[in-house]
Structure formats: structure tokens, C-alpha cells
A and B are shown apart, each in its own frame.
Chain A
Amino acid sequence: MKGKKGRNTRAMTVAVAVLAIAVGVARTCRKPKPVRENFAPPQRAGFSWPVGVKAAVSITFDHAAPSQLDRGLPILDQHGLKASFYLDIPEAKKRLADWRKAVGVGHEIGNHTLNHPCSGDYSFERKRGEKDALEDVTPEWVEKDFLAANEELKRMFGSEPKTFSYPCGEMFTGRGEETRSYVPLVARHFIAGRGFGMDFSNNPADCDLAKVNALAADGFSYKAFLKAIERAEASGDWVIFCGHGVGVKGGYPSISDLELEKLCAWLDEHRKEVWTGTVAEIAEYIDKARRGGNNRGRQ
């Protein structure tokens, strides 16, 4: 168990995190020129959102923490918003009936692999002590792992997941000159692959659906959410949020239930301009719109 010192540090860093992220979101991009302000409204030739819609939002959660069911779902359901849940399978099995209920009302269940392989720099990879950090495996190893997860999820929910979320947001295997991207395999098996923790939202006209980004939203305030959504509205983007818990005290990374409630109330109220949908719904719409002919056929 963590010591007292650890807990204090965590409480402090989490408190700082809330502030820091609120500030951080405003600076979503990292490049010499201030980002969109300098540009005319971006051209979205060949793509349009449904009539009246200016931007899209997906709310996603990874790892199947119980607070997602107990505190997150009631808020989402009260406002009639659908979210995507990338489940840790052993964790999800503990509450299978509840997860099935979530699927019943239209939430999405996505694939997050069986073994959650990440870089060996993460201490949980070292702790595990097995040679299955991303640096130690191949794209084919990861493919086998996520296909096994697909099988398992199919047994649990009756259908295979359509979208994938990259553990730790990492998309490679191997090291140095042997490094390989495993995005191609995700592209082959899923309609979308969701990354994590980079600082951009997704341009629906030509984003790569196999590696869309989700902002790391644990600790986000309502204001931080709104700032990210306003940016997406200005550019016509699809912004994806990823959290891990809802309203958990004591350091587990989570979105406060109060802030989530405010966000969902806002999204509920603005559903004509901002489309809130699961990753699968929005990716399918984008894919179809692009195939509609006027896209430049880049996918």
C-alpha cells in the first residue's frame, strides 16, 4: 500500500492537475504559430457534419473501473448521452450484468486488449516482470492479444467491438531501429483506433481513423471541457475525451462527478450544434461521409 507521503503527494499533484489542465487545454497545439487564430475557417471540402452540427464530441472511459458504472452512467443516461467504454476484461466480468445494461441503452463497448501492453518505462510493466512490454513484443503479438479480447467481448456481449483504444495511447512495438507501428493492424480490424494524451482534436475531413486522439480528461473542470469543445466548434473538429474514473476521491485518476454533470447538461442542451456520440457512431458517420464521393479519397 502507498505510504502517507505518497498519498499527500498524490493529493497535491491531483489538485495541481485540475488547475494545470484547465490552463493547458487552452494551448492545445504546440507549434510556432498560434494555431487556428491565424487561419481562415478551415476548409472542410468533401465533408460535412449533419445539418446544423458544428462539431462532434465523444466521451470515453478506459479500464472498466466501477465508478464508471456507479457514478458515470447515471449522469450520462439522465442526459441521454452515449459514451464509449474500453473495458479491462477481468474487471468488467465482475459487473457483467451492469455492463450489459449499459450496452442495452446504446453505450459502446470497445477493445482495450487483454494484457494492456505499454512501454516498459511504466512501472506496472516492470512490476509485472513478464517480457511483454511493447519493446519486447511484435505487432503480431499485439494483434493476437486484441483479437483474443474481441473473442472474449463477443462472448460477453454478443457482438464484436468496432473500435479500439491503444493502451497508454502507444502505437508501437520494439525499440530503436526495430521499432514498428502496430496502427496498420488496428486499421485492418477496427473502424477506429483511439489514442490518448496528445494535444489535438480530430479533423473529420481527413483524420486517420486508425489513430484518432483523445485528450487526457481526468481532472478536467467543466471550463476545461468547454474550452476544448469551443475550439472544436471553431474548426469543425471531433474532440474525444478519455477518463478513467468518475468522482473517485483519493488519487485515482478521475473526472469529478460534478464537472461531468455540468458537461453533460451542456451537451444535452446544445445537442443541435454539438453532436455527442460514441466513437463507433462518429467514426462510421465520418467514414460514410468520406465515401460519399466528395472526399479526396484518401482513406
Chain B
Amino acid sequence: MAGRLAFHARDMEIRWMPMADGFAWPGGARAAVSLSFDDARPSQADTCLKILDFYGVKASFYLSPDRMKERLEEWRKAAASGHEIGNHTVSHPCSGNFEWSRRNSLEDYTLERMDAELVEANRLVREALGVEPRTFAYPCGHTFVGRGESTRSYVPLVGKRFLAGRAYMSEFLNHPAVCDLAQLGGAPMDGFASMDVITRIQEAGESGSWVIFAGHEVADKGYQVTRSATVEKVCEWLRDPASGIWPGTVAEVAGHLASFRLKAKAA
């Protein structure tokens, strides 16, 4: 993700960020980090969960209901043991610029159809795993339906139905004072070495931010692959209290922020 920081997050002269009054991460942590994985790729169940469980780190899994069936038992166990299961729509619609999405493209979607799909994906997960998704990951990180003058944001639907929504390919860190829970930045993790990921977490530490990583397959190497060695080393690093980082699922961290904001509003 270092490369993905590109321009706008590289304004590193400016480290200063005002924290919201009275806000603190749990346990005096400097920052929060969430690991998340999309699409219910079987390698997540076969490889990733084993690593996470070995180190006792909980992650968020945004399951595509169809692919979820390929490892149903494993996902049930994961949900029961405290990993988060999130909503990733039923049919994974993205911009039609992706060849595989041309027959199911967001440019051809309506808000009503998207809303129905959000509800349906929750139902499928609930019936299969017995848990209700509380957070959402935007397929491809795209947050719109329609085209040109008819383009509409579907963030409001996510804002209404979920505690939080995670985008993708974002270059910013989520700042607790200002971040919109309905449209959180998600940093790509596929292909990166553990050092890149830890560097990014350290940057979150400097500004007191929350970084959410998003990966796909978990294996040694290849297409859309988060390296298992990266997951291992990052988990090992996170587990050490000296890191000063709070590793929480997206729902846990978003819940902490939401309850802080509620209290602040009431006060």
C-alpha cells in the first residue's frame, strides 16, 4: 500500500491531526488496525484462519454467499469463535469497466436493486451461519450506481443498514475525529511484504488513526494474493503489546467509534 499512498496521503509534512476531545483507543492504544478479507475465497478458510487463530487475532470476512458454501463448516466455526462475518452483496456488482462485471454492472444498477441485494445477502449469511452481518465491504470499492448525470451514491443505503462500510484502494487513513463510518478507507494488502503493512500501521500510530487492510486469496504468491508470511508476521507483531496497536474487527472498532460519538453528542 505504500505505493498506493500516491500523492494525497504523502503530505507527510503534516502529521498533526487534532483528536476529538476526550477520544481514546481502548487500552491506551496509539491506533487501531483491522484485517479484512473479501469474497470468501477458500484459501481464507484453509490458510488464513489457521494463522489468525494461532496468533489469536480476529479479522473481518466479507463473504460472497455463493462462495461461502465451499467452506461452510469453517465459516461457521470462524463466526462462532469471534471473527466477524460481513456483507459483500450477493452478486458482487462493480463498474462494467471490469470485463467480468459487464453483465452485472453498477452503471446499470438502481438504488432499489442494490438495497434489495444488501438485505438478501444478510439473509443468506444469517441462515447459513447464524450471525447477522453488521458491516459491509463495497465490491471493488465502488460506491455508486448509474452513469453520468444519473449517477447516485449508494453510501446512504449502507449508512442506513450497517454500522460501517469499507471501501477499497483508498490512500488515506481513517481518522477517528472525522471518518465517515459508512465510507471507511480500505488499504490493499495483496502482494505486500509484512514490512510495508507494518510501516503503514506505524503511520496510523503517528496520527492516531485506524487502518483497515483488505486482502483476497491468502497463499505464498500469485494473482490477488495476500502472502501468508505477511499475515503471519503482521499478526505476530500486533500480538506483542509493545506495538501499542489495537487489532479489532471492523465491527469492533466501528462500534467503539460509534459509541464514543453517541456519548459526545449526548454530552
With an 8 A cutoff between CB atoms, is B10 at the interface? yes
Which A residues touch B9, using CB under 8 A?
Answer: 122-123
Contact residue among B11, B67, B175 (Cβ-Cβ distance under 8 Å from A120): B175
- Residue contact B100 to A33, C-beta cutoff 8 Å: yes
Known: A39-B100, A120-B175. Is A171-B144 also a contact (CB below 8 A)?
Answer: yes
Which of B38, B99, B195 has the most A CB atoms < 10 Å from its CB? B99
A203 / chain B contacts, CB cutoff of 8 Å: 96-97, 99, 102
**A235 within 8 Å of B (CB atoms):** yes
A31 to B15, CA, bound (A): 34
Range for the number of chain A residues in contact with chain B: 35 or more
Which among B25-33, B128-136, B152-160, B240-248 touches the partner chain?
A: B152-160
Out of B1, B107, B170, B178, name the residue touching A126 (CB < 8 Å).
B178
**A35 close to B99 (CB less than 8 A):** yes
A159 at the interface (CB under 8 A from B): no
Pick the residue among A30, A62, A197, A299 that contacts B140 (CB under 8 A).
Answer: A30
Q: Are A124 and B95 in contact (CB under 8 A)?
A: no
**A34–B222 CA distance with the chains assembled, in angstroms:** 11
Q: Which residues of B contact A152 (CB under 8 A)?
A: none
**Looking across the interface, which residue of chain B has its beta carbon closest to that of A3?**
B15
Question: Could you tell me if B98 and A29 are in contact, using CB atoms closer than 8 angstroms?
Answer: yes
- Cβ contact of A36, chosen from B4, B99, B159, B179, cutoff 8 A: B99
Cβ-defined contact, B178 with A121, below 8 A: yes
By the criterion CB–CB under 8 Å, are B100 and A9 in contact?
A: no
B10 adjacent to A31 (CB under 8 Å): no
Q: Is A188 an interface residue (CB 8 A)?
A: yes
Pairwise interchain contact A210-B12, C-beta atoms closer than 8 A: no
Q: Is B255 positioned at the interface, with any CB of A under 8 Å from its CB?
A: no
Chain B residues, CB < 8 A from A201: 97
* Docked CA distance A26–B222 (Å): 10
Considering the chains assembled together, what is the distance between the CA atoms of A119 and B143 in angstroms?
Answer: 14
Asked whether A197 and B4 contact (CB < 8 A) given A31-B100, A121-B172, the answer is: yes
- Interface presence of B36 (CB below 8 A): no
- Contact A216/B140 with A177-B182, A181-B152 known, Cβ cut-off 8 Å: no
Please tell me if the beta carbons of B13 and A184 are within 8 angstroms of each other in the complex.
Answer: no
Which segment of A12-20, A102-110, A263-271, A277-285 sits at the interface?
A: A12-20
Chain B residues whose C-beta falls within 8 Å of the C-beta of A216 in the assembled complex: 3-4, 6-7, 171
Contact (Cβ within 8 A) B155 A197? no
Question: Bound complex: CA of A31 vs CA of B106, how far in Å?
Answer: 15
B140 in contact with A122 (CB, 8 Å):
no
- Which of B39, B168, B180 makes the CB contact (< 8 A) with A179? B180
Which partner residue on chain B sits nearest A180 by CB separation? B153
Q: Which of A32, A121, A172, A252 contacts B64 (CB 8 A)?
A: A32
A206 interface residue per 8 A CB criterion: yes
- Report A97-131 CB contacts with B as 1/0, cut-off 8 Å: 00000000000000000000011111110110000
Name the B residues within 8 Å of A253 (CB-CB): 5-7, 10
Sorted nearest first, the 8 A-B pairs with minimum C-beta distance are: A17-B3, A179-B155, A176-B159, A183-B151, A120-B178, A208-B147, A216-B6, A13-B2
- Pick 9 A–B contacts, CB within 8 A, sort by A: A9-B199, A30-B38, A32-B67, A121-B173, A179-B183, A181-B151, A197-B171, A198-B142, A253-B5
Extra A-B contacts (19), CB below 8 Å, given A6-B12, A299-B148: A13-B196, A16-B2, A24-B3, A30-B168, A31-B101, A34-B223, A121-B173, A123-B14, A124-B14, A135-B180, A176-B156, A176-B180, A178-B156, A179-B156, A179-B182, A184-B150, A197-B6, A252-B10, A253-B6
